[in-house]
């Protein structure tokens, strides 16, 4: 599935780019079982996985802290003739986001600061149903160990591994796919 994500941002220099990690996550989501699941994408950026999941008729909600992410999402939906994707601008410190609970929580390249592990884990617990799966694609920034330890301490099982297929990327993916369940 191809999407026109051609809008860029003049503000945050790293926003507006479709990173390899987001492509890996979208690839994982391309045939992931979504039937009956409420799905949350955290730190969606250009929301490639949200677009793909919406096209698959998933119940997807996208979130990001970037002030332009929601407008970019809606413009990209219009460019692609897609279904509306609910978006909520949220900070992982926000205890009253109104998002509700989800069966599946996904994200890519969102652990780029050491302290993000604890913040993200607490945010996920706030929005995870009692039975929930979490999939995070990390490009190898070395900050995921702290996050994984926190997730396990919060009652999630953990496993990780490489992307099993990455021939759609320009070069081999050096990161990991992190999976958590409770």
Q: What is the pLDDT of residues 60-115, one digit of tens each?
A: 999 999 888 899 899 889 988 889 999 999 989 877 778 999 999 999 999 988 88
Report pLDDT for 11: 43
Under CATH, which number does the domain 20-164 receive? Answer: 3.40.50.150
Q: How large a percentage of the chain has pLDDT more than 90?
A: 70
- pLDDT score, position 10: 44
* CB of 118 closer than 8 Å to CB of 93: no
In the prediction, which pLDDT does 15 show?
Answer: 55
Average pLDDT of the chain, as a whole number: 89
Among left, alpha and beta (phi > 0; psi -120 to 50; other), residue 139 is: alpha
Candidates 142, 143, 124, 136; CA nearest to 160 is: 136
CA distance 136 to 42: 9
Predicted confidence (pLDDT) at residue 170 exceeds the cutoff of 50: yes
What pLDDT shows up at residue 46? 87
User: What does the pLDDT look like over 10-37, one tens digit per residue?
Assistant: 444 455 577 899 999 999 999 999 999 9
Q: Which two tokens stand for residue 75?
A: 């413009």
Between strands 59-64 and 38-41, the pairing is: parallel
**DSSP run (H or E) holding 131:** strand 128-138
> Containing H/E element for 125?
helix 116-127
């Amino acid at each position: 599935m191809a999407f026109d994500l051609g809008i860029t941002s003049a503000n945050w220099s790293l926003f507006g780019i479709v990173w390899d990690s987001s492509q890996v996550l979208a690839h994982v989501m391309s045939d992931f079982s979504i039937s009956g699941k409420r799905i949350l994408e955290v730190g969606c950026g250009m929301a490639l996985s949200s677009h793909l999941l919406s096209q698959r008729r998933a119940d997807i909600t996208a979130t990001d802290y970037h002030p332009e992410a929601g407008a970019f999402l809606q413009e990209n939906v219009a460019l692609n003739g897609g279904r509306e994707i609910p978006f909520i601008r949220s900070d992982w410190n926000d205890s009253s986001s109104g998002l509700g609970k989800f069966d599946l929580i996904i994200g890519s390249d969102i652990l780029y600061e050491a302290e993000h592990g604890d913040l993200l884990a607490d945010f996920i617990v706030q929005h995870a149903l009692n039975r929930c799966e979490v999939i995070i694609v990390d490009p190898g920034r070395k900050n995921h160990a702290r996050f994984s330890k926190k997730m396990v301490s919060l009652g999630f099982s953990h496993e990780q591994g490489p992307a099993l297929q990455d021939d759609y990327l320009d070069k081999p993916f050096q990161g990991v796919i992190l999976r958590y369940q409770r």
